[in-house]
Structure formats: C-alpha cells, structure tokens
Structure 1
Amino acid sequence: MTQEPLRWGVLATGGMAAAFTEDLLRLPDARVTAVGSRSAEAARTFAARFGIPRAHGSWRELAADAEVDVVYVATPHAQHVAAATACLEAGKPVLCEKPFALSGRQARMLTELAEKQGLFVMEAMWTCVNPAVLRIAELVAEGAIGQVRALHADFGIRVDAPPEHRLWDPAAGGGALLDLGTYAVSFAHLLLGAPETVTAHARLSPRGVDEQTGMLFGYRDGAMAVLTCSLLAQDEHRATVYGTTGRIEIPADFFNPPSFVLHRDGHEPRAVTAAPQEGHGYGHQAREVMRCLRAGLTASPLLPPAHTLAVMDTLDQVRERIGVRYPGE
C-alpha cells in the first residue's frame, strides 16, 4: 500500500456514491476498481458511467474482491451497519458515510468489530477534515479568540419530498437530525468536546421523525452551543464561534467551508481562505484515509472513532429529548 495507488471499492450507486467517485477519480494515487450494489444491473450501469472495471451484484461480492483495498460505504443511513459489517468481516478497511450508524450502540458494534479485525474505519464526516475547519480548530486551540463562550451553527434546507421519501421514514433513520443536525453536532464536538447537558426541542412529522430540531448544549466551563437543523426552511448554513477576545464567522456552508472571517479585538477582520477545493470536496476524506492506510494506522488522528462515538451518543440524547425512536429500539 505504500507505493501503488490505493484501490477503492464503492458500495452503493446513488447520488453520494457518484459524487464521491467523481472526486476519487481526480486523485492520482487512487483507483476505483469496483462497485457493489444489491442490484447487479445498477452496479453495471454505475461501472459503465465511471469506467470502473468490476461490478458486483451484492455487497459481500464487493467486500470479497481481491482487487479492492478499501471500501467507501454510501448506502442510506439504516444500511450503514450491515454494509460496513460485511466489509469489515471480509477484511476490508471502511470509510462509512455519515451518520456512522443510527445510534451509539450500533456505532460501537462497528468500531469494536474493526478493532477486533485490526482494520481501519472512519466516518465520512467531511467537516472534520476540511482545511478551513481544521484551521479554525487550530486558532481556537491557540487562543486566537480567547476562551470560547458560545458556538452557533444552523443547517436548514426546504425539502419538498413525497411522504414515502427516506427523509420522512423512521425505518430509514429519517428526519433532520441525522441528515443535517449531525454536521452541527460534530462541529460543536470538534471545538468544544462532548456537552455536559443536552436540551432539545423539535417539530415531529406524523410518522414521528423530526422535521426540525433546536439544540442547546451546556459545557462544564460554562460555554454553550446553540444548533438548529431543519427540513422545512432554507437558511444560510452559517456558524459563529464566540470567544472572550474575538469571534470566528463562517458565512455559509460551515460543514464544508472554503473560507472564514477572523475577528479579533483591536484588529481589522481578516478573511482566511483555504486552498481551492477540487470537485465536490470529498477528496480530503479520501486523502486522509489513504494517508492513514499507508502509515499502517487503524484510526485517523483527525477523525478517530472516539469522536464519532461521542457524537452518536449526543445524537442519542437529542433523540431522547425530542421523542424520536427508530424501529427496533
């Protein structure tokens, strides 16, 4: 793995799988050698679209492919555990789309399996490997804005999907929280850690998933995070980190920003721009996975399983507060 391009298998054939594959094809040290789906026809169509040499009609066939070094799991939320489990049991490292699972219990099952197998596993939370966000985390750690007192982040989109759509389906892990709110929660965890207290309020759909949710996290040092997610109203996807001597503003798309503005007391605001982003922005995740695999690591220092598990535990607490339950819980 240290010299040759790493060979990727893509598990699923939907929009996320397509976008990630497009970004993988931009990387000179990556090859997409196989795709797997529960439908052989869908796998063949996807393979033809992207020039992928091998198409498999089942997840386990993809997981068993000797021409695959690592698998990207891009199924809908409720299938993440089964898909990732098939790959880990077959000895394949995994990059699994967010949310990593539907619950903290499920997430622990996956991380414990990876640990038992001695395999790399990482959640595909692009926020935590985004260069601009990583620079924000550095500035906060350096005390550039003093002690952080508050963090605000909002992620809302208006969704006009039919009632049978996965976003409204409890069995599919539907709702705003796992689809959108997980970004805000992960961002807060990155900068402030796990909250000491969790308060939440939501509007639920007739089928019992959250159409929108507001969260208030409290921390031991008195800091707080105010987060919202919505499938009912579009917002600017802004985030602001407030400190005792300044603030950091992300004016749009805080979950994958190209830039931010640093405000420091006694100084002019300074715009900070990361390196130009190629493609859709998923390449940062792929590069981190490949860097770790080539170094023989089973976890990413930027996005370790401990971060993912802590976020999943917080999401569980939010769901408990708002009364969202998935089948089987």
Structure 2
Amino acid sequence: MTKLNWVVLGTGTIANEFATHFKAEKAVLYGVASRSLEKSEAFAEKYDIPHAYSSYAEALADQNVEVVYIAVPHSHHYQLIKAALKAGKHVLCEKVITVNGEQLREVTQLAEENHLYLAEAMTIFNMPLYRTLKEWIRENDLGPLKMIQASFGSFKDTDPSVYYFNKALAGGALFDIGTYALSFVRHFLSSKPTEILTLGNLHESGVDESSAIILRNEEQELATVSLTFRAKMPKQGVVAFEKGFLTIMDYPRPTQATFTSYDGKHQTIEAGDTVQALNYEVANFTDMILGKKENKTLPLTMDVVEIMDTVRKEWGLEYPFE
C-alpha cells in the first residue's frame, strides 16, 4: 500500500495535538521541523518521529517529504505555503490558511501550476458528522433553508507574548475562532454570500475583540455570526429550514446533531469521534492526493477568507505585514 510521508512545520500546541493522535492508514509522520534543531529533536523523540530538521528549508529540501502540515502562527502561513509548493510538496495548512484573499489566490494558482494539492486544515470540512448531515438533509424533505446562526465566545489572555492579541502574529477573534463560525455557515449555505453587514470592536492591541456579522446570498438564505475573545459563549450552530432546524453543539468538532421539526419532534444524528478530528483531515487529504480527487474544500475556504477581507475592511483592521 502506498503511504505518503508527512512532515510537520512547527512544534507548538496544535502540532503537539496533531502528533499525539496521529494514526493514518495511508500516511506516515516522517519528520518535524522548527527554527531550532533542539526543539525539533525533542519533538521527534517525544512522538517517535524518525526525522528532525534544523529549519523549515531543510525539511522542504528533503526529496522524501511529500506532504507538509503547517502549524505555525497565522502570520507565517503564506510564506511557508509558497516555499512548500515551490519545493513540490502538497500542503495542508492550519486555519486561517492565509490572512487575505490576495495571498490565497496567489498560492492557489501556484498549487495548480505545479499540479499540487493545497487545503486548509478546517475540521468542519472533514468531520464525518457534516457529510452525514448533508446526506440526511438530501434524503429528508425539510423545505428551503432559511437561517443559519453560529456563535463562538472564548475568554483569552491579553498577554501579547501569545498570538491571540498580538497584531504582529495576525491575532484576533476573527482568524482564531471566526474562521470556524464562517466555515460552518458556508458549509450549509447554497452559495457564497453576496451581501455582508458587520459591526466589530477592536481591542487596544489593535486586533478584533468582538464582532457580529450578517450574511445573505442570492437564494435569500440568511446567516448571523457572533464572536468574542473576552467572554464565554457556547459553540452552537443552528441551521433552520422551513420544516425544522438542526442544532449542533461544539460545532468545530461535533459528533452529534439534533433535528427539531416544526411540530416539536426530535431526532438525533450521530457520526465520528472528536478525538480523531485531525486524523480525519489527514485521511481525507491523503485520499484526495492518492486518488487525484477534486479539491472541493478550497473554494469554500476562499469564500470564507474573502468574507473576512470584507469585514476587516469595514472594521479598519489591517496587519502590519500586509
């Protein structure tokens, strides 16, 4: 059986989670790279990874590396994606994939020119429950989609040494948690939003702290997104059709949804395992590469990034490296 060699760029929190649970039928965790050989070697020893690199460039120069998983701060995604694609590697990049649409369009074109796959490591596009829900919706007469609601509130420390409120590292609620809410919304909308309204509050650090976003597409489907980095709110998604609504709690990595019909009846739909969230990304991306399948998630990611471009412009939020 063909197995693809994966390398992780970065040794932070998400990279540790990725390595902790890594288990794939058609992929091997071949190496890890950091800006420090000491960090790479410690990470490799911890997770029994055979190769440790002293730099990202060294990892990308290894001809045995086939797929790169980028797990560094948002501000560094664009440059590393470009470098990986130019080195002939397929790329799965942590969210948010790039900080603006211009960057994403450039690397998308680069991937196409080099016949490589590029995707965002967005759990919502990979959790089995969402595929099951799409099938369930098709099989049941729910009437037209009317409204989607997505909320996400998290209380984050304002310490600038952490990226959450660090403008130089592309911090802010939109890129950290808003990308989940908008990806949830876009997954269910019939088409890309054509109208976008928003209000946002900026923190003294210069990044977005709280916001509300309203979306509408050509089918007249509406969506509302509520985000904050300074208060807890449930990670709750609601998808309302004419004949009832779906409620998905903890929607970034859900395993269960409840459908409530217009006459008050309830039905539970279940699929997947939260612990395997990142492995679903690995499996799907690997299958896409080996099977030469159509990349169906990148267009959705592009829509989400372009929505974020619009709302940031409205808020007056621009990052120094843009």
Equivalent in 195, 218, 221 of residue 219 of structure 2: 221
Aligned to 1:198: 196
Post-superposition shift, 1:63?
Answer: 1.0
Post-superposition shift, 1:161?
Answer: 3.6
Equivalent in 292, 300, 307 of residue 300 of structure 2: 307
Equivalent in 18, 38, 44 of residue 47 of structure 1: 44
3-state SS of paired residue (1:235):
strand
3-state SS of paired residue (1:216):
strand
Q: For structure 1, which segment, 231-240 or 154-163, has the greater mean C-alpha deviation from structure 2 after superposition? A: 154-163
Instruction: Flag the structure with higher strand content.
Output: 2
Instruction: Report if the CA contact (8 A) 1:23-1:281 is conserved.
Output: no
Aligned to 2:284: 288
Equivalent in 63, 69, 81 of residue 78 of structure 2: 81
Instruction: Report if the CA contact (8 A) 1:12-1:37 is conserved.
Output: yes
3-state SS of paired residue (1:281):
helix
3-state SS of paired residue (1:254):
coil
Alpha-carbon distance in 1 for matches of 2:265, 2:231:
34
- The letter for the 1-side match of 2:319 is Y
Equivalent in 246, 249, 255 of residue 248 of structure 1: 246
Post-superposition shift, 1:234?
Answer: 0.9
3-state SS of paired residue (1:247):
strand
Aligned to 1:12: 10
3-state SS of paired residue (2:155):
coil
Task: Provide Cα deviations, 1:252-274, integer angstroms capped at 9, x if missing partner.
Answer: 21121110001223472011111
Instruction: Report if the CA contact (8 A) 1:289-1:300 is conserved.
Output: no
Post-superposition shift, 1:141?
Answer: 4.4
Aligned to 1:230: 228
Task: Map 1:9-158; keep pairs closer than 5 Å.
Answer: 9-24=7-22, 26-142=23-139, 144-158=141-155
Aligned to 1:316: 309
Instruction: Report if the CA contact (8 A) 1:261-1:271 is conserved.
Output: yes
Alpha-carbon distance in 2 for matches of 1:221, 1:300:
24
- The letter for the 1-side match of 2:88 is G
Alpha-carbon distance in 2 for matches of 1:190, 1:64:
36
3-state SS of paired residue (2:45):
helix
Alpha-carbon distance in 2 for matches of 1:99, 1:201:
21
- Between Structure 1 and Structure 2, how many residues are aligned? 321
- The letter for the 1-side match of 2:288 is C
Q: 1:19 to 1:183 in 2, by over 3 A?
A: same
Aligned to 1:168: 165
Segments of structure 1 that go 5 or more residues without pairing to the other structure are: none
3-state SS of paired residue (1:238):
strand
Instruction: Report if the CA contact (8 A) 1:144-1:246 is conserved.
Output: no
Alpha-carbon distance in 1 for matches of 2:31, 2:256:
35
Aligned to 1:186: 183
Post-superposition shift, 1:136?
Answer: 2.4
Post-superposition shift, 1:328?
Answer: 4.0
Alpha-carbon distance in 1 for matches of 2:116, 2:27:
19
Alpha-carbon distance in 2 for matches of 1:246, 1:64:
53
Instruction: Report if the CA contact (8 A) 2:133-2:269 is conserved.
Output: no
Post-superposition shift, 1:139?
Answer: 3.5
3-state SS of paired residue (1:286):
helix
3-state SS of paired residue (1:270):
strand
- The letter for the 2-side match of 1:218 is R
**Percent identity among equivalent residues?**
30
Post-superposition shift, 1:230?
Answer: 1.1
Alpha-carbon distance in 2 for matches of 1:194, 1:99:
18
Instruction: Report if the CA contact (8 A) 1:140-1:191 is conserved.
Output: no
RMSD, aligned α-carbons? 1.6
Segments of structure 2 that go 5 or more residues without pairing to the other structure are: none
